[in-house]
Structure 1
């Protein structure tokens, strides 16, 4: 088992604005995807770290200068670290680079579910490939 485990996921906010119901119902096309992440303050000896993700998904195609839809997801993951097996000095790098990739499937799930409930068909976020990260020596 990896020394860092995801313990909880909290969805802080979900929202969807549909500006053109007809176009959303039969949506096919490109999207703009913006993802931001942040990490809680890390304290030596504290085995918990929170990582937040904010995602915005909009259609590239515009109708009357507005995206067909806009979806916003804000969630955070609570991770527990076995500090005997994972060096604290590597934790910030891990939390900023690896943790967001672990949370992306949950963002995808929220976007897809909200889009379906809002009547936006055909919206699936792309899979993201995590680059290989080697520990600092």
Structure 2
């Protein structure tokens, strides 16, 4: 009997692809100012072709004081998943919740790594509840 790594009834991750990664920072950053705030925006798009689901997750990050964005980042990754023949989980639900939850740690790592290379403390994004995000 040949061992298998995936079930006929589960989604299979085929690939994770970094589509875009941009990072910009000012020379001086006002971390100590009380007005210094961060903003995070997450976008999710799905496309189904045959039995392959492409889930694109984008992150826009900015921080600074009011309109002066001292740190800016944009990261876009796509996960490529093979859809099962039959599953208790719909492709729509998987694409809005499960797939982004699989991709998000890779986005978090990308931002933390590039921010360290930029000479600042690593930007550690908080975990995201994709169930709540999908309900918005």
Range of TM-score over shorter length: 0.7 to 0.9
TM-score, length basis structure 1: 0.76
Q: Which has the higher contact order (CA 8 A, sep 6+)?
A: 1
SS state at 1:77 partner = strand
Q: Mark the runs of 5 or more structure 2 residues left unpaired by the alignment.
A: 1-5
The residue number in structure 2 matching 1:23 is: 29
Determine whether 1:12 maps to 2:19. yes
The residue number in structure 1 matching 2:68 is: 66
TM-score, length basis structure 2: 0.76
The residue number in structure 2 matching 1:48 is: 52
Query: How large is the RMSD of aligned CA atoms in angstroms?
Result: 2.6
The residue number in structure 1 matching 2:87 is: 86
Runs of 4+ in 1 over 3 A off after TM superposition: 26-30, 129-132
Residue number among 73, 76, 79 corresponding to 2:78 in the alignment: 76
Q: Give deviations 1:74-103, integer Å, cap 9, x for gaps.
A: 1100111221x4269x21232123211221
Q: Give deviations 1:21-73, integer Å, cap 9, x for gaps.
A: 2327x689641001001001x35xx32111001101111435xx421110110
Q: Mark the runs of 5 or more structure 1 residues left unpaired by the alignment.
A: 133-137
